[in-house]
Structure 1
Amino acid sequence: MPKAGGGAADEEEFRAEVEERLINEEYKIWKKNTPFLYDLVITHALEWPSLTVQWLPDRTEPPGKDHSVQKMILGTHTSDNEPNYLMLAQVQLPLDDAEADARHYDDDHADIGGFGAASGKHHDGVVEDVAWHLRHEYLFGSVGDDYHLLIWDLRSPAPTKPVQSVVAHQGEVNCLAFNPFNEWVVATGSTDKTVKLFDLRKIDTSLHTFDCHKEEVFQVGWSPKNETVLASCCLGRRLMVWDLSRIDQEQTPEDAEDGPPELMFIHGGHTSKISDFSWNPCEDWVVASVAEDNILQIWQMAENIYHDEDDLPISDEPAKTS
C-alpha cells in the first residue's frame, strides 16, 4: 500500500507496481496454456525494440532438415542512443511433419543479423496511413486525423482530388488495408477503438464494425492466405484475429461471454504494447509481432481454432511440449 501522506507520486508508483504484477501473472497463465492455444511459438529478445516487422517472400528448405528458412525485416528504435538501422532476420520454422510443435514453445530460435543504415492535401489533419490497392495499381486509400477514409484514382482527370470520401469513424483513423482477394473490401482502424469494413461500391455505410478492442486501434492486416481473416492490434498488449465468415453465427451464452462469433483468436503473449505485426506470406496462419520491450514473437494458433473439428485428423498422441 502507498505510504500515508506520500502524495500522488507514491500513488502512481503503487498503481504501476500493481499493473506490472497483473501483467506478469497474465503472462504466466498465457505461457502455461500455449500448448493448447498454439501450434508454434518462438520468442526472441532483440537488442533494441523494433517498430516494424515484415516477412520477406523468400522460403527455402535445407536438404535433410526438419525446418524451412525464412527471412524478415526489422527496424531498430534506439531512442537516439545509437544509430538506427534495418535488420535482416533469418528464422527457422518447423516443417508440417516435424515433431516439434508449442506444443512447440521456443524461447529463442531466430538468427538476427544487421545491415546498412535506414533512415495531395485533402485531409484536414495529419495523414496517418496510406495503402495501395492490391489489384488495381492506380487506386490507393488514405486515412487521417480528420476521421476520413479517402480513395484516390490516378486515372482521374483531377488525380489530386479523391474520388471517394467518407467519415469512417468517430475518432482519428490510424490505419487501412485492402483485402488481397476481394477488390471491393477495405478495413480501417481508429482511435475510437473499432475496426470497420467498407465496400468501395457503397462506401457511405460501413459493412461491419468490430468493437472488442479496449484501446485505440493502430494497425489492421489481412491474411494473405485466407480471404475472410483479418488481424488488428491496439495500444494494449493484445492482437485480435477475426473471421468475417463467422459474423452472425449462433453462439451459446458461454461463448458469447468471450466475444462475438467473428472474434477467432486473441494473441496474449506480449507484456508490452505491440508495435507491429506481419502475416507470413509462405506459411499459413503464421504471424510475427514485435513489442516495445524488444520482444519478437513468431506464432501460429492451434489448428483446431481455425478448422472445424470434423475436418481435423484423429490422433491418439498427446500434445508435445518443449
Structure 2
Amino acid sequence: MEVDNEDVEKPQEKADGEEEMSIEDEYKMWKENSSLMYKYVSQTALTWPSLSIQWLPSIEINKENETIKTQLIIGSDTSGSEDDFLKIASKELPLSIIDDKLKNETTSGFKINKRFKHKTEINRARYMPQNPQIIATISGSGNSYIYVNSAKKSKNRKCILSLKYHKKNGFGLSWNPNDEGKLLTSADDSKICLWDINSKNISVELNNTPTSLQPSNVLNDHTDIVNDVKWHNFNENLFGSVSDDKNLFIYDVRTLSTGPVLKKTNAHHNDGINSLSFSNFSTNLLATGSLDSTIGLFDLRNIETKLHLMVGHKNAITSLEWSPHQDGFLASGSEDRRVIIWDISKIGEEQNQDDADDGAPELFMMHAGHTALVTDISWHPDKRLKWLLASTANDNIIQLWKVKNKISDPVDGIETTLPDSFFE
C-alpha cells in the first residue's frame, strides 16, 4: 500500500481511549489483510479534510514509464482557520492496475496541481458531464460557485459565476447529464434550486469579475433539510430529492408548479434520508441511503412499495453511487467508516451459516480502510479502470483503491443485466 504524507497533520486522537484503540486495531487488521482484497491501495493524508471527491474522466497512459496519470477534484474544510480552496489533484498509478501483471513499480505521489480560492468550506464539487472543465461547488453558506479548470496557466484562478439563493449549509449538487448547463442544488433551508448556466457566456465571464446568477426555479415542497438531489440518468426532465422530512420526491421539470410527480412518504420508516442515486443501467431503479444505516431500492413504476432494504452499515449513510460500468453494483459510504460495494443481483440467494454471518448475499465487498466517517465516494468513469474507487473521510484521509481481480473476475468483462424478476 502506498502512503503519501507530504505536508500532513496527524489527526488528533479521540478522548475515548478504548474506542480509539478499537478503531486502531481494526485499521491494523485491515492493513494486514489488504493484499488479499485489493489490486491497488493508495492512502494520502491532507492538511485539511476534503468533504468531496470525484475522479475526472481523462487519463494519460505513459507506456514508457508504465504509469497512468489520473486526476481528481477535491476541496478543503479549514473551519475558518485558513483560506479554503477547490483543488485539482493528480495521482500516477501503475499501468498494471488494468491487468494481472505483477511488477515492482514506482509511481509518483498525490499532487495538487491547481488551487482555486473558495469562500468557506466545499461540501460538494462536481464537473459538468458535457464539459469536465466546468466545475460546480456548494458550500457551508449554501452558495454555489462555477469554476473553469482551464488547461491554460493562470495566476488568477477564481470562480466565474456565483449562484446565491440558499441561506443555509448545502450538500445537494447535480448536473443534468442529458441537458447541458442545467444544475440542481439543495440545502438545509429545505429548498431546491434549479439553475441554467447557459444564460451566461462563460468564455466572456472567464476574463471578467464573477457575476451572480439567480435560480430559474425554486421548490419549497420539503419541510426539512434537503440532503441530496439528483438528476435522472436517462430522462432529462426527471430528478429526485431526499430530506430529513423522511420523504423521497420525484419531479418533472415540465410540471414543477404542481409539485412532485411521485412521492414516497416515510421512505425509511421514521428516519431522514441522506442520499439518493439513480441507476446507470435501469431507467426505473434508484437507491436511497438513510440516517438509520439502511439502503432502500425503489422502482419508479411503483414507488410506494420498496423493492428491497439492504442492511450492512452500522451508522448513517453519507453517499451513494452506482457503478457506471457494471449493472447492479452500488457503492455506499457511511458514518461507520466503511464503504460497501453491493451486488443487487445476489439478493435472495441462499447462504450457509458462515456466509450469512458475514452479511447479506448482496454485500459484495466491504472497504474498511478509513478510521473516520466517510464523506464521499467516486467510481472512476473510465471503463479500463472500472473497479477503481476513491473515498475521502473526515480525518483528512483520501484512499484510492481497486478490488483485486480474482474478486471481481466473476463479472469482470461480462455485460450483465438485472433479470426482470428483480422488479416483480
- Provide TM-score, normalisation by structure 2: 0.66
Task: Summarize the Cα distance change of 1:105–1:273 in structure 2 as closer, same or farther, 3 Å threshold.
Answer: farther
The aligned residue for residue 380 of structure 2 is: 280
CA distance in 1, matches of 2:323, 2:287: 12
Task: Summarize the Cα distance change of 1:309–1:274 in structure 2 as closer, same or farther, 3 Å threshold.
Answer: closer
Could you tell me how far 1:99 is from its partner in structure 2?
Answer: 2.9
The aligned residue for residue 35 of structure 2 is: 35
Q: 2:399 aligns with which of 274, 297, 306?
A: 297
Q: 1:99 aligns with which of 94, 98, 102?
A: 102
Q: Which runs of 5+ in 2 are unaligned?
A: 1-12, 120-218, 414-424
Q: Does 1:166 align with 2:279?
A: no
Corresponding residue SS for 1:44: strand
The C-alpha deviation readout for 1:250-309, integer Å capped at 9, x for no partner, is 212111100011000110001111111111111111110111111110001112223339
CA distance in 2, matches of 1:14, 1:59: 39
Could you tell me how far 1:218 is from its partner in structure 2?
Answer: 1.8
The aligned residue for residue 225 of structure 1 is: 325
Could you tell me how far 1:125 is from its partner in structure 2?
Answer: 1.1
CA distance in 1, matches of 2:366, 2:103: 23
Corresponding residue SS for 1:257: helix
The aligned residue for residue 49 of structure 2 is: 49
Q: Which runs of 5+ in 1 are unaligned?
A: 1-12, 312-322
Residue 318 of structure 2 contacts residue 374 of structure 2 at CA under 8 Å; is this kept in 1? no
Could you tell me how far 1:201 is from its partner in structure 2?
Answer: 0.6
Q: 1:198 aligns with which of 298, 309, 313?
A: 298
Could you tell me how far 1:172 is from its partner in structure 2?
Answer: 0.3
The aligned residue for residue 131 of structure 1 is: 230
Identity of aligned residues (%): 40
Could you tell me how far 1:211 is from its partner in structure 2?
Answer: 1.4
CA distance in 2, matches of 1:27, 1:228: 29
Residue 175 of structure 1 contacts residue 188 of structure 1 at CA under 8 Å; is this kept in 2? yes
Alignment of 1:298-317 (within 5 A): 298-308=400-410
User: What amino acid is the match of 1:234?
Assistant: S
Aligned residue pairs total 295
Task: Summarize the Cα distance change of 1:310–1:177 in structure 2 as closer, same or farther, 3 Å threshold.
Answer: closer
CA distance in 2, matches of 1:14, 1:41: 26
Corresponding residue SS for 1:85: strand
Corresponding residue SS for 1:269: coil
Could you tell me how far 1:14 is from its partner in structure 2?
Answer: 9.9
Task: Summarize the Cα distance change of 1:309–1:216 in structure 2 as closer, same or farther, 3 Å threshold.
Answer: closer
Task: Summarize the Cα distance change of 1:137–1:309 in structure 2 as closer, same or farther, 3 Å threshold.
Answer: closer
The aligned residue for residue 243 of structure 1 is: 343
The aligned residue for residue 184 of structure 1 is: 284
Could you tell me how far 1:112 is from its partner in structure 2?
Answer: 2.1
Residue 323 of structure 2 contacts residue 379 of structure 2 at CA under 8 Å; is this kept in 1? yes
Corresponding residue SS for 1:51: coil
Q: Does 1:154 align with 2:257?
A: no
Residue 43 of structure 1 contacts residue 109 of structure 1 at CA under 8 Å; is this kept in 2? no
The C-alpha deviation readout for 1:83-107, integer Å capped at 9, x for no partner, is 1111111111222255348xx998x
Task: Summarize the Cα distance change of 1:224–1:105 in structure 2 as closer, same or farther, 3 Å threshold.
Answer: farther
Residue 334 of structure 2 contacts residue 375 of structure 2 at CA under 8 Å; is this kept in 1? no
User: What amino acid is the match of 1:199?
Assistant: D
Corresponding residue SS for 1:260: coil
User: What amino acid is the match of 2:40?
Assistant: L
The aligned residue for residue 59 of structure 1 is: 59
Corresponding residue SS for 2:280: coil
Residue 42 of structure 1 contacts residue 105 of structure 1 at CA under 8 Å; is this kept in 2? no
The aligned residue for residue 145 of structure 1 is: 244
Corresponding residue SS for 1:117: strand
Corresponding residue SS for 2:358: coil
CA distance in 1, matches of 2:401, 2:63: 24
Higher-RCO chain (CA-CA 8 Å, sequence separation at least 6): 1
Corresponding residue SS for 1:181: coil
CA distance in 1, matches of 2:69, 2:376: 22
Corresponding residue SS for 1:177: strand
Residue 57 of structure 1 contacts residue 281 of structure 1 at CA under 8 Å; is this kept in 2? yes
The aligned residue for residue 314 of structure 1 is: none
